[in-house]
């Protein structure tokens, strides 16, 4: 096959990145994004090319062609239903489904994510110092497990460059959905200087996003997860809150590999320092239950491969943690649920367990961009099924009402 054929709701195999680019720019039928070529070839190369294309479209959005492309995206993927609106931290989310951190590390496509139907998008992870990340290959698909393996190492151009990028983006057009930024410690910064590293990133970026996330849970920055210990995390949160002065919501993103006692301590810290919420969860270092035994790209046993697993293997654990946090806080601390969301039922399960908002990454790769309207329509159907008039009524409903999640 020498040309990609655009077929709604069907993934087709394309032979080269150039064919994929041509397919996207042709746009003869509903959008087929570059990201879904990644199962066939180099995931990172395809991902980078998609971001470049979206950045080019956004920078030329006032041209006829780019305006038409964005309108086609919106017609295909955007859904509007007042029952899905969530109001948190003085922000209005038109729907609860967001793009997770890791997809748009430098904010190059920040102005386009609303056109895919997302109700929020989280950029980064970004560090104070620019860094190249870990050696390649470092991004893999595990199709047998409907999962991803990444050991990217927070490759990004640094907070100062992201600030300039976002300043230019929002000068072209105002943001139409809440935008978050995921802050990570620079690899070269020692752990005992982590607080200042986070604060310096925040200073650059605080005017260009709506909420911020303290990432202390990526498995791909040496020592980073040690900062989840309350004695390590407390000075970081205290320094950020002092710099913030209550102007921006600050959340913390946690690991699925924490034990219940450590998780309870972290929840208490979040309450003590009046954090806006918790994102549950980041990727897992567990290899338990994987169908993939040998990573085809390297020929090595999956248990010998460093990095975090995302997608379906994370689904159950992330939901259990959401439920635990909701129960520990009586539903008073907002939770963004992420991990293994592929279908409306997956999304509903996390909301019923206690998540007010959701984020996707791996599921979006596997299911395609139609996943967004499919999930949103499915959530409306679930609200109707349970006699609920708004999504906020559904948050934590299994804890309050005994509503089943896999009905």
Work out the average pLDDT over 377-399. Answer: 97
pLDDT of residue 20: 41
> 118 and 254: one domain?
yes
Q: Has residue 406 been placed in a domain?
A: no
Last residue of a domain, one of 47, 77, 107: 77
Banded pLDDT at 34 (limits 50, 70, 90): very low
Q: Which domain holds residue 11?
A: 1-77
Query: Each residue of 78-123: pLDDT tens digit?
Result: 999 999 999 999 999 999 999 999 999 999 999 999 999 999 999 9
Position of tokens 């102005």? 111
Position of tokens 């997608």? 311
Q: Has residue 38 been placed in a domain?
A: yes
Task: Give backbone dihedrals phi and psi of 99, rounded to 5 degrees, phi first.
Answer: -85, 130
Residue 215 is assigned to a ligand binding site: yes
CATH number reported for the structural domain that contains residue 361 in this entry: 3.20.20.70
Banded pLDDT at 220 (limits 50, 70, 90): confident
Residue 104 is assigned to a ligand binding site: yes
Number of domains within the chain = 2
Work out the average pLDDT over 268-282. Answer: 96
Least confident of 174-178, 221-225, 277-281: 221-225
- pLDDT(391) > 70: yes
Q: Has residue 1 been placed in a domain?
A: yes
User: For residues 284 and 257, what is the distance between their CA atoms, to the nearest angstrom?
Assistant: 6
Share of residues in the chain with pLDDT > 90 (%): 83
Q: Has residue 407 been placed in a domain?
A: no
> 22 and 161: one domain?
no
Mean residue pLDDT of the chain comes to 90
Last residue of a domain, one of 10, 42, 77: 77
> 70 and 103: one domain?
no
Residue 32 is assigned to a ligand binding site: no
> 11 and 92: one domain?
no
> Which of 186, 201, 217, 218 does the annotation list as catalytic?
218
Q: Has residue 324 been placed in a domain?
A: yes
Biggest CA–CA distance in the chain, Å, is: 59
294-47-24-73 Cα dihedral, nearest 10 degrees: 110
- pLDDT(179) > 70: yes
Contact yes or no for 391/85 (Cβ under 8 A): yes
> 5 and 141: one domain?
no
> 95 and 40: one domain?
no
- pLDDT(404) > 90: no
> 145 and 46: one domain?
no
Q: Has residue 41 been placed in a domain?
A: yes
pLDDT of residue 46: 86
Token pair for residue 177? Answer: 């959905």
Residue 111 is assigned to a ligand binding site: no
Banded pLDDT at 400 (limits 50, 70, 90): confident
Residue 150 is assigned to a ligand binding site: no
pLDDT of residue 12: 38
pLDDT of residue 258: 95
> 280 and 206: one domain?
yes
Give the bridge partners for 62, in sequence order. Answer: none
> 275 and 299: one domain?
yes
> 47 and 140: one domain?
no
Banded pLDDT at 225 (limits 50, 70, 90): confident
**Residue 176: exposed, middle, or buried by beta-carbon count in 10 A (0-12, 13-18, 19+)?**
exposed
Query: Each residue of 35-66: pLDDT tens digit?
Result: 444 445 689 988 998 999 999 999 999 999 99
Q: How close are the terminal C-alpha atoms of the chain, in Å?
A: 43
> 161 and 47: one domain?
no
pTM: 0.91
Q: Has residue 40 been placed in a domain?
A: yes
Residue 362 is assigned to a ligand binding site: yes
Last residue of a domain, one of 29, 54, 77: 77
pLDDT of residue 41: 65
> 116 and 217: one domain?
yes
Residue 31 is assigned to a ligand binding site: no
Position of tokens 């939770």? 335
The residues near 236 (Cβ < 8 Å, ≥ 6 apart) are 194, 195, 198, 214, 216, 227
Q: Has residue 305 been placed in a domain?
A: yes
Contact yes or no for 269/238 (Cβ under 8 A): no
- Based on the residue annotation, tell me whether 217 is a catalytic residue of this protein: no
Residue 283 is assigned to a ligand binding site: yes
């Amino acid at each position: 096959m020498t040309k990609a054929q655009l077929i709604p709701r069907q993934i087709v195999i394309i032979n080269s990145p150039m064919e994929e680019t041509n397919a996207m720019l042709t746009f003869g039928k509903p959008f087929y994004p570059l990201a879904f070529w990644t199962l066939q070839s180099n995931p990172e190369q395809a991902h980078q090319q998609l971001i470049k294309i979206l950045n080019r479209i956004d920078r030329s959005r006032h041209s006829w062609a780019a305006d038409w492309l964005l309108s086609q995206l919106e017609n295909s993927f955007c859904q509007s239903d007042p029952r899905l609106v969530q109001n948190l931290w003085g922000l209005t989310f038109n729907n609860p489904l967001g793009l997770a951190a890791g997809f748009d590390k430098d904010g190059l496509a920040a102005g386009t994510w609303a056109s895919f139907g997302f109700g929020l998008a989280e950029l980064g992870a970004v560090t104070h110092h620019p860094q190249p990340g870990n050696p390649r290959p470092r991004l893999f698909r595990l199709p047998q497990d409907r999962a991803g393996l990444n050991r990217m190492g927070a490759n990004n151009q640094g907070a100062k460059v992201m600030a300039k990028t976002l300043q230019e983006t929002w000068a072209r057009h105002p943001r139409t959905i809440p935008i978050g930024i995921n802050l990570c410690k620079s690899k070269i910064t020692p752990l005992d200087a982590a607080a200042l590293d986070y604060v310096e990133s925040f200073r650059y970026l605080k005017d260009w996003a709506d909420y911020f996330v303290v990432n202390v849970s990526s498995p791909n920055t040496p020592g980073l997860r040690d900062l989840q210990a309350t004695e390590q995390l407390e000075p970081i949160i205290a320094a950020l809150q002092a710099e913030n002065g209550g102007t921006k919501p600050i959340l913390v993103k946690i690991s699925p590999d924490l034990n219940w006692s450590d998780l309870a301590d972290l929840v208490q810290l979040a309450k003590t320092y009046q954090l806006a919420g918790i994102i549950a969860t980041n990727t897992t270092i567990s290899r338990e239950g994987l169908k993939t035994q040998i990573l085809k790209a390297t020929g090595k046993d999956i248990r010998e491969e460093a990095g975090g697993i995302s997608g379906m293997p994370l689904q159950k654990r992330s939901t259990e943690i959401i439920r635990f946090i909701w129960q520990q806080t009586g539903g008073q601390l907002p939770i963004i649920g992420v991990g293994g969301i592929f279908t409306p039922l997956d999304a509903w399960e996390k909301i019923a367990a206690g998540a007010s908002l959701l984020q996707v990454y791996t599921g979006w790769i596997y299911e395609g961009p139609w996943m967004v309207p499919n999930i949103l329509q499915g959530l409306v159907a679930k609200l109707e099924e349970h006699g609920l008039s708004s999504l906020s009524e559904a948050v934590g409903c299994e804890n309050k009402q005994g509503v089943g999640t896999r009905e």
